[in-house]
Chains A and B, each alone.
Chain A
Amino acid sequence: MTWLDADTDIIFSGALCALACSIPGTLLVLRKMSMMGDAISHTVLPGLAAAFLITQTRAPIPMFIGAAVIGIVTALLVQWVRDLSRTDGGTAMGIVFTALFAVGLVLLRLPAIEHIDLDPSCVLYGAVETSAIDPINVLGVEMPRAALINGVMFAVNLGVLLLLFKEFRISAFDPALATTVGINATLMHYILMTMTAVTAVAAFETVGSILVIAMLIVPPAAAYLLTDRFGVMFVLAGVIGVLSAAGGHVAAIVIPEWLGVGDTVTSGMMAVAAGALFTLAWLVSPRHGVISHLLSRWRLGLRIMREDILGILYREQEQADHPTPSLTTAVEAIVRLRKLRPVIARLALSRLRRRGMVTGTLPQLALTDRGRTEAARLVRSHRLWETYFSHQFPTLPSDHLHAPAEVLEHLTDDALRDRLGQRTNDPSVDPHGRAIPGAASGASIDGS
């Protein structure tokens, strides 16, 4: 692979485009209006065609005005169709954007417009490869035209965001509150729609009309999985956008090389790279990721298993002290647990041994003093819950007390256990007549 200056330019332009898109994109994702971005990025096409028909130039200013107008028109039409035909917002969007896009395609076939270079494939995929090479001289510095346009767009969006930061934040999370504190929510809506449309035009040449959506929505959605803070989400969305632009272009050069063919479209690979980063965030996000959810479930399962083993051993020892007829021995119970969940049970046993709570191997498992203290805490929680339920629901049959207590004992911390003791007047026996360890009037918590 050979790296050219053009490649740097392409990544530079793509990154600026991603930055410009990340700002309206974040707002769209938070307002749950992502598909409005989709609709507007499609309807930009007739806006551009109409602007060209009227002015007969491809100068940037008329194009941007056309885009801003069509953005507002799209938003208005969607609202009207939704309210007048009483359909859901999604259907209204679908009807409006397909109709406008079709108008755009028909306009492109008009003789007056056909000679300009708005060919549909460029419209769809964009042409970052050529636009990035097209240089422009700004104050003596040569830079790609796409970079200039997207850079200006980014600066404008950032300015609007900083100027209206507070207003955007409130109306993103609570439009009703925004209205009550005197923010014009409708105005904010149309500012966002205009911003989206104008940004879509700027990004048009770089990533194409459909892939604008990738840059608008995917990086902010990934950022949404990584943070709960409004400001941080913008920064993360920008970073992820830049990474997908760079990664996308590199992938567009490198991956086809492995397959023995030339290269592929950068804009498409930018979307794929953004998708890959989203998947990564989806998997590894510390708070909302799939892996962290699985891990915490695994940890909880392990802890419950440990506590259940301790509880079983404790109860057997208790029965040895005060013999009562029992159905299963502790060994049988633990063997059954091991059959049910072999891996977790084995792990839990070895963890207990390492922590010095249990000694011996399975037929001769025994609690150490440390283990007994821990087990007594658990059994105390269990029996306090049973007592609590029997106080709160006197009509509940006594054989219905065990099941909820069996669940809650694992979720009860020291503070809750103390309050539970106070609430139930620190009883010494539970409703089944068994001693509650650690009660002030009964046995002490270490079971001695």
Chain B
Amino acid sequence: MKRAALIFGLLLTIAAAPAEAAAQSQPSILDNLQRVLSLRDYNTRVVIAGVSLLGLAAGGIGTFLLLRKRSLTADALSHATLPGIALAFIITTALGGDGRALVWLLLGAFGTGVAAVGVIILIRHTTRIKEDAALGIVLSVFFGAGAALIKLAEQMPQGSAAGLDRFILGRAASMIAADVQAIAVVTVIVLAVCTAFFKEFRLLCFDQSFAGAQGWPVLLLDALLMGMVVAVTVIGLQSVGLVLVVAMLITPAAAARLWTDRLSIMFPLAAAMGALGGAAGAVVSAAAERMPTGPIIVLVCSALFAASLVFGSKRGLLVRAVRHMHLRRRVAEQHLLRALWEMSENAGRVEVRSTFARLKSQRSWSALALRREISRLRRRGWVRLDAQGDISLTNQGRIEAQRVVRNHRLWEMYLITHADIAPTHVDRDADQIEHVLPPDLIERLEGLVEASDARAAMPASPHELPALATGDRP
């Protein structure tokens, strides 16, 4: 948990960076920023509260969406809310109500959103059309119908449909306190349901068929999940718009995925990132004049994702690069140890000294890399150089080398006896795996390889060692 807090702090500074950079460039923006950050304006307070709550809910529910690989379903259903908005307007206006009452519009959006999910499932199950095309069909046809219906709504004699298209690209500035209340209600419900059904949703994400076999109502849970996704999409329409609301759902979740392998951490982290993205986006767009809020929020979320991609503590590029470097170093070390060991074995003596040139001819390694490796092993005390510059293993180095060579030969023998590979061909395969054999696997190899000397301290090599290796100095 401490680490999560640390991560969160780091994210805060990352997110603040662009805002600070913007602040330095122009003094007027700095003033604006101060005004915005002090929350002096009522409007700004409303917008920031609204989009932060939205980010909280979207990031949370997006976690499950991402893990179920349904990201683009959210895209399709958000586009499919448009005809619902138009229909709701037309119907309430025709019945003499106020067509612009948000409740009805959002209910309409919810209705066609759910219908879209239903049609996607229907197409997938009753035709040979694949998921991707089913999404594309639903997305475009529903959106087309929505565009046509909105134009119709605008021509209705009673009521004014102006502003219905704000749901397409979003207009956060038009948010009022009542909207924030609606968002807050949905957010609380979504987070409460997610917490209450956390275990069930986790099972649904990672092993749906097991959940079904265990007797969980998988379909019902799935419907609940998708229903909440539609609800979050609908409350996001007003601020980020239906084209970009999918980013609120998936981008924070994808960013959180890079920091952890645990769902119980990923869920709050994604929610926090969503809230942060929303708040930071709202602040930046309020400070910089004429910048649209929705796209800025999405860009902040994308920046969070990009930062996570680089710095993420679990799957981030830096962490992976470091891990890769460590592995490569260990491999190079072990190659050197094995080369020295096999030379001494060929010579039939424990104490063997090799010239640099002989050692170099042992493998295809560059002089530079070999020299670097020798000095690294020297620092660790596994290799020593004598006065003439000849190289030999120390006692400690010999123990380490023995372990490496043993792994190598066990694997070779395993390949020969169980995979039926010719003894002349196993060296290279074993060369790749000897570095990553864990202790329990070695134990099992010892059990599997029934050669007489498998349990000996050092099995003999099943093939001839390179002839060059014999030449050592007496």
Residues of A within 8 A of B (CB): 29, 32-35, 37-38, 42, 81, 84-88, 90-91, 93-95, 98-99, 101-103, 105-106, 109, 120-121, 124-125, 210-211, 213-214, 216-218, 220-221, 224-225, 252, 256, 259, 261-265, 267-272, 274-275, 278, 282, 288, 290, 293
Q: B115-164: which residues lie under 8 A (CB-CB) from chain A? A: 123, 126-130, 132-133, 135-137, 139-141, 143-149, 151-152, 155-156
Would B128 and A265 count as touching, CB distance under 8 A?
no
Instruction: For residue A128, give the distance in angstroms from its CB to the closest CB of chain B.
Output: 12
Would B128 and A225 count as touching, CB distance under 8 A?
yes
Would B136 and A259 count as touching, CB distance under 8 A?
no
Instruction: For residue A36, give the distance in angstroms from its CB to the closest CB of chain B.
Output: 8
Would B133 and A221 count as touching, CB distance under 8 A?
yes
Would A268 and B295 count as touching, CB distance under 8 A?
no
21 contacts between A and B (CB under 8 A): A35-B132, A35-B135, A38-B136, A81-B309, A85-B257, A94-B75, A98-B247, A103-B295, A105-B294, A109-B291, A214-B143, A217-B136, A218-B141, A221-B133, A256-B155, A261-B155, A264-B152, A270-B144, A271-B144, A274-B144, A288-B128
B226 within 8 A of A: no
Q: Which of A94, A216, A267, A288 has the most CB of B within 10 A?
A: A94
Would A268 and B250 count as touching, CB distance under 8 A?
no
Known: A34-B133, A98-B243, A102-B247. 14 other contacts (CB 8 A): A35-B136, A94-B74, A94-B75, A95-B250, A98-B251, A101-B298, A109-B292, A121-B165, A125-B147, A210-B139, A218-B137, A225-B127, A256-B152, A271-B140
Would B257 and A95 count as touching, CB distance under 8 A?
no
In the complex, identify which listed stretch (B65-73, B403-411, B423-431) lies at the interface while the others stay far away. B65-73
B218 within 8 A of A: no
Chain A residues positioned under 8 Å from B149 (CB to CB): 264, 268
Chain A residues positioned under 8 Å from B144 (CB to CB): 211, 214, 267-272, 274-275
Chain B residues positioned under 8 Å from A267 (CB to CB): 144, 147
Chain B residues positioned under 8 Å from A270 (CB to CB): 144
Chain A residues positioned under 8 Å from B169 (CB to CB): 105, 120
Chain B residues positioned under 8 Å from A94 (CB to CB): 71-72, 74-75, 246-247, 250-251
Chain B residues positioned under 8 Å from A95 (CB to CB): 247, 250-251, 254, 302, 305
> Bound complex: CA of A106 vs CA of B293, how far in Å?
10
Would A106 and B291 count as touching, CB distance under 8 A?
yes
Would A42 and B243 count as touching, CB distance under 8 A?
yes
Would A85 and B309 count as touching, CB distance under 8 A?
yes
Instruction: For residue B221, give the distance in angstroms from its CB to the closest CB of chain A.
Output: 21
> Bound complex: CA of A256 vs CA of B156, how far in Å?
11
Chain A residues positioned under 8 Å from B130 (CB to CB): 29, 32, 34
The one of B148, B250, B258 that contacts A269, using a Cβ cutoff of 8 Å: B148
The one of B71, B132, B295 that contacts A34, using a Cβ cutoff of 8 Å: B132
> Bound complex: CA of A217 vs CA of B141, how far in Å?
10
- Chain A interface SS verdict (over half): helix
* Smallest CB gap from A290: residue in B: B126
Would A268 and B145 count as touching, CB distance under 8 A?
yes
Chain A residues positioned under 8 Å from B140 (CB to CB): 210-211, 213-214, 217-218, 271, 274-275
Chain B residues positioned under 8 Å from A105 (CB to CB): 169, 292, 294-295
Would A265 and B151 count as touching, CB distance under 8 A?
yes
Chain B residues positioned under 8 Å from A220 (CB to CB): 133
B173 within 8 A of A: no
The one of A33, A225, A274 that contacts B129, using a Cβ cutoff of 8 Å: A225
The one of A37, A211, A259 that contacts B147, using a Cβ cutoff of 8 Å: A211
> Bound complex: CA of A93 vs CA of B66, how far in Å?
12
Q: B426-469: which residues lie under 8 A (CB-CB) from chain A? A: none
> Bound complex: CA of A124 vs CA of B141, how far in Å?
14
Chain A residues positioned under 8 Å from B294 (CB to CB): 102, 105
Instruction: For residue A44, give the distance in angstroms from its CB to the closest CB of chain B.
Output: 13
> Bound complex: CA of A88 vs CA of B69, how far in Å?
7
Would B295 and A32 count as touching, CB distance under 8 A?
no
Q: B41-88: which residues lie under 8 A (CB-CB) from chain A? A: 66, 69-72, 74-75, 79
Instruction: For residue B126, give the distance in angstroms from its CB to the closest CB of chain A.
Output: 6
Chain A residues positioned under 8 Å from B133 (CB to CB): 29, 32, 34, 217, 220-221, 224
- Chain B interface SS verdict (over half): helix
Would B302 and A98 count as touching, CB distance under 8 A?
yes
Instruction: For residue B255, give the distance in angstroms from its CB to the closest CB of chain A.
Output: 9
Chain B residues positioned under 8 Å from A288 (CB to CB): 127-128
* Smallest CB gap from B74: residue in A: A94
> Bound complex: CA of A422 vs CA of B72, how far in Å?
56
The one of B168, B290, B299 that contacts A102, using a Cβ cutoff of 8 Å: B299
Known: A98-B251, A101-B244. A211 touches B317 (CB 8 A): no
Q: What 10 A-B pairs come out closest when comparing CB atoms?
A: A271-B144, A275-B141, A268-B147, A214-B140, A98-B247, A268-B148, A102-B295, A217-B136, A99-B302, A102-B298
Chain B residues positioned under 8 Å from A98 (CB to CB): 243-244, 246-247, 251, 298, 302
B266 within 8 A of A: no
The one of B151, B296, B315 that contacts A268, using a Cβ cutoff of 8 Å: B151
Instruction: For residue A276, give the distance in angstroms from its CB to the closest CB of chain B.
Output: 9
* Smallest CB gap from A278: residue in B: B137
> Bound complex: CA of A88 vs CA of B250, how far in Å?
12
> Bound complex: CA of A294 vs CA of B102, how far in Å?
43
Chain A residues positioned under 8 Å from B254 (CB to CB): 85, 87, 91, 95
Chain B residues positioned under 8 Å from A224 (CB to CB): 128-129, 133
> Bound complex: CA of A256 vs CA of B152, how far in Å?
7
Instruction: For residue A161, give the distance in angstroms from its CB to the closest CB of chain B.
Output: 19
Q: Which of B66, B127, B147, B296 has the most CB of A within 10 A?
A: B147
Chain B residues positioned under 8 Å from A81 (CB to CB): 309
The one of A35, A211, A225, A272 that contacts B72, using a Cβ cutoff of 8 Å: A35
Would A271 and B291 count as touching, CB distance under 8 A?
no
Chain B 269-308 interface 0/1 with A at a Cβ cutoff of 8 Å (1 = within): 0000000000000000000001110111011001001000
Known: A37-B136, A94-B71. A85 touches B152 (CB 8 A): no
Would B246 and A221 count as touching, CB distance under 8 A?
no
Chain B residues positioned under 8 Å from A101 (CB to CB): 243-244, 295, 298
The one of A90, A268, A290 that contacts B146, using a Cβ cutoff of 8 Å: A268
Chain B 16-55 interface 0/1 with A at a Cβ cutoff of 8 Å (1 = within): 0000000000000000000000000000000000000000
* Smallest CB gap from B245: residue in A: A98
Chain A residues positioned under 8 Å from B75 (CB to CB): 35, 38, 94
Chain A residues positioned under 8 Å from B165 (CB to CB): 121
Instruction: For residue B462, give the distance in angstroms from its CB to the closest CB of chain A.
Output: 34
Known: A29-B133, A213-B136. A264 touches B290 (CB 8 A): no
Would B136 and A106 count as touching, CB distance under 8 A?
no
Chain B residues positioned under 8 Å from A217 (CB to CB): 133, 136-137, 140
Chain B residues positioned under 8 Å from A86 (CB to CB): 315
Instruction: For residue B294, give the distance in angstroms from its CB to the closest CB of chain A.
Output: 8
> Bound complex: CA of A263 vs CA of B149, how far in Å?
10
Chain B residues positioned under 8 Å from A103 (CB to CB): 295, 299
Chain A residues positioned under 8 Å from B69 (CB to CB): 88, 90-91
